Amino acid sequence: MARVISVEAERFPIAGTFTISRGSKTEAEVITCTIRQGSHIGRGECVPYKRYGESMDGVRDAIEAMSERIVGGLGRTALLDAMPAGAARNAIDCALWDLEAKISGTPVAKAIGAVPARTLETAYTLSLGEPEAMAAQARANAARPLLKVKIGGDNDIARIQAVRQAAPQSRIILDANEGWTDDNIVANLAFAAEQGIALIEQPLPAGSDAILRHIAHPVPICADESVHEAKDLETLVGLYDAVNIKLDKSGGLTAALTLRDRARDLGFGVMVGCMVGTSLAMAPAVLLAQDADFVDLDGPLLLARDRIPGLVYQGSLVSPPDTALWG
């Protein structure tokens, strides 16, 4: 039976403003790919990211350009060669996974060996701001066991100290989004270690991080912008201690599974993260993250409105997706 594919641009308001070192946003802009085959429907969501040269229109066009091949029966493995890694491939790949699960009756969790899928503890993200404002965010979320703190500026030591004092019991991930420099990274790392920080994400710009091979890592350092696919990993050995896997970077769950397994083989810690999207984008990542060292899948917690049905969050715990949502 022939497939039918459709693509839709959607926007979901963020609760307040979400700020990182590269700017602020007040809504999550997502692209949803839907593939129908008979009475079965598969869906996938992606979040175009300007940092990687993506736009809403560009990603939508890239998906639509694949329509004829998808309708003709293109599978996930062939998709890896047909499209580059990125948001567009992610939306199609996840829609195909969902469609396959609906047709076969085999849940994605079982297909990838993630059974029984368990509830995970996710980080909760605090936006970049002045130290006092970040302390207020931290104080309001101090009961959460894991906080991810956006930093990346000249005043980061004050920010780190303010957040740590406001949330003394929480484990903390710092995410600099490429905002540190060779001049301040050693001092920032040392202070982070003094404050008991658990992990630091992408302190330096991708491709300008050679110093990481020659300085101490008193806190483990995780690659984010520096890693997209499994082929990126070899060059990161000796620079980073962990990698952040995001479906929008890897180009879908299929490639992300390969990336995760190769990262483990090379001795990297594994974090599974997300862009700011809805539960539909998080659902496959929850299954990918079943054995992750760190989980950062709080996108829906940052939204004023999520999809219905969505993932079930209880505090910082996120449950595996119900098949009515995905998979």
Domain ranges of the chain: 3-110, 120-318
Mean pLDDT, rounded, for 274-292 = 98
Q: What is the residue whose two structure tokens read 């910082």? A: 316
Residue 130 has pLDDT above 90, yes or no: yes
What is the model's pLDDT at position 213?
Answer: 98
Alpha-carbon span 254 to 257, nearest angstrom: 6
Q: Are 64 and 34 in contact (CB under 8 A)?
A: no
Least confident segment among 12-21, 29-38, 233-242, 303-312 = 12-21
Query: Pairing between strand 171-175 and 23-37?
Result: unpaired
From the list 102, 148, 246, 249, the catalytic residue is: 246
44 contacts 93 by C-beta, under 8 angstroms: yes
pTM for the structure as a whole: 0.97
Mean pLDDT computed over 62-82: 97
What confidence tens digit (pLDDT) does each residue in 234-269 have? 999 999 999 999 999 999 999 999 999 999 999 999
Portion of the chain with pLDDT greater than 90, in percent: 96
pLDDT at residue 21 greater than cutoff 80: no
Arch. (CATH architecture) of 120-318: Alpha-Beta Barrel (3.20)
Residue 246 a catalytic site member: yes
**CA contacts within 13 A on the Cβ side of 93:** 30
Round the average pLDDT of the chain to a whole number and report it. Answer: 97
Give the pLDDT confidence score for residue 269 in this predicted structure.
Answer: 98
Task: Confirm whether 231 is a catalytic residue.
Answer: no
pLDDT of residue 229: 98
* List 25, 50, 148, 150, catalytic entry: 150
Per DSSP, 313 falls in state E
What is the spatial distance between Cα 286 and Cα 272, in angstroms, rounded to a whole number? 8
Q: What is the pLDDT of residues 180-207, one digit of tens each?
A: 999 999 999 999 999 999 999 999 999 9
**Considering the domain 3-110, what is its CATH architecture?**
2-Layer Sandwich (3.30)
In the prediction, which pLDDT does 153 show? 85
* Rounded average pLDDT over 285-305: 97
Average pLDDT over residues 304-315: 97
Cis-peptide, bond into residue 107, ω within 30° of zero: no
pLDDT band at residue 24 under the 50/70/90 scheme: confident
Residue 23 has pLDDT above 90, yes or no: no
